[in-house]
Copies of this chain bind each other. A is one copy, B any other.
Amino acid sequence: MEVEESPAAPGEEVIGNDKTSADYYFDSYSHFGIHEEMLKDVVRTRSYQNVITQNNFLFKDKIVLDVGAGTGILSLFCAKAGAKHVYAIECSQMADMAKEIVKTNGFSEVITVIKGKVEEIELPVPKVDVIISEWMGYFLLFENMLDTVLFARDKWLADDGVVLPDKASLHLTAIEDAEYKEDKIEFWNNVYGFDMSCIKKQAMMEPLVDTVDQNQIVTNCQLLKIGLNPFVYLICVFQTMDISKMSSGDASFTVPFKLVAERNDFIHALVAYFNVSFTKCHKLMGFSTGPRSKSTHWKQTVLYLEDVVTICEGETLSGSMTVANNKKNPRDIDITLKYAINGNRCKVSRTQHYKMR
């Protein structure tokens, strides 16, 4: 069941006769390198493996749908855990490898790899008992694959079915980062004696995906909670979103934050990261991609501030973060950050724009 070329979905930039920006997105998953990186992320892959192998009751004799199967690793875990049948949907060329891997490992009878887009393929069954997916991108929402999982849930999940993982949350903290900001941002002020500060403006606007040392953390870490928001699901998103219940929609939202300093220090950047959990297991399972946890391939997302904020213990850096899918390429994310501090040593109020691409 292979899906041939198809018209662009709404919001997809049409690049040529038959390729859209989405095709280039899927092309990036055709190379084995990205799968090697994900498989070798043991926090990620071992978490899924443990969830599946230690909770056979969720899979035994069940129909499972694996959304964005890649090499098929999660499908294989599910098959081994006793699933009745697993449908593994993968749009990139890696689907051909997944088919071969399934065959090589003797699971052809249990796993059916379907090459195509979730939004376009047909399943041979009307309903599934379990939807499993590793859909999380940088900053949780980059790549916007969550919508695809929600599409699959709404179309195929049985009334008493489960989505794995079923909870995810976005967190924010503030860090001291003088040395690295100097290297990544101020660098452009003087490049072999020349002023390239126009590139610095670009560098400032792009969230930096990198590993943050937990000793850099200056404030508390806050679970982002949504304030006024027209979208039902987003209320869920930021007081831990419930993937089994939330509704799909445009991921445009504004969340307020208040970060309280735990020591006297400078703040150079805000750092976002996410946690994921599987609450349907015998015991609560999950993982964090925060700077205090073992590092993952998602690292953290660093948003540099225009100002170097001087903050004293107990003082508050407050503001709001607005996140929206980019209109031109919906897998990209536009972020607007408002922050303010009215402290003893520093009074600042500023709005900054970022683009994750």
Chain A residues in the interface with B (C-beta under 8 A) = 15-19, 32, 35-36, 39-40, 45, 49, 71, 73, 76-77, 97, 100-101, 104-105, 184, 187, 191-192, 194-199, 202-203
Interface of A is mostly: helix
Contact status A195-B105, CB under 8 Å: yes
In Å, the complex CA distance between A197 and B45 comes to: 19
In this complex, what residue of B is CB-closest to A203? B32
Contact status B39-A97, CB under 8 Å: no
- Min distance, Cβ A40 to any Cβ of chain B, angstroms: 8
- Min distance, Cβ A51 to any Cβ of chain B, angstroms: 13
- Min distance, Cβ A59 to any Cβ of chain B, angstroms: 16
In this complex, what residue of B is CB-closest to A35? B199
Copies in the complex: 2
Interface-centre pick from A17, A32, A77, A202 (highest chain B CB count, 10 A): A32
In this complex, what residue of B is CB-closest to A18? B16
Known: A16-B16, A17-B16. A71 touches B196 (CB 8 A): yes
Within the complex, which residue of B15, B71, B195 is in contact with A191, where a contact is CB–CB below 8 Å?
B71
- Min distance, Cβ A217 to any Cβ of chain B, angstroms: 26
Query: What residues on B are CB-neighbors of A101 within 8 Å?
Result: 194-196, 198-199
Query: What residues on B are CB-neighbors of A19 within 8 Å?
Result: 15-16
In Å, the complex CA distance between A196 and B101 comes to: 6
| Supplied contacts A15-B16, A16-B17, A36-B203, 10 more A-B pairs, CB within 8 Å | A16-B18, A35-B199, A40-B187, A71-B199, A73-B192, A97-B196, A97-B199, A100-B198, A101-B195, A104-B197
In Å, the complex CA distance between A269 and B21 comes to: 37
Query: What residues on B are CB-neighbors of A197 within 8 Å?
Result: 104
Query: What residues on B are CB-neighbors of A73 within 8 Å?
Result: 191-192, 194
In Å, the complex CA distance between A71 and B97 comes to: 40
In Å, the complex CA distance between A151 and B214 comes to: 52
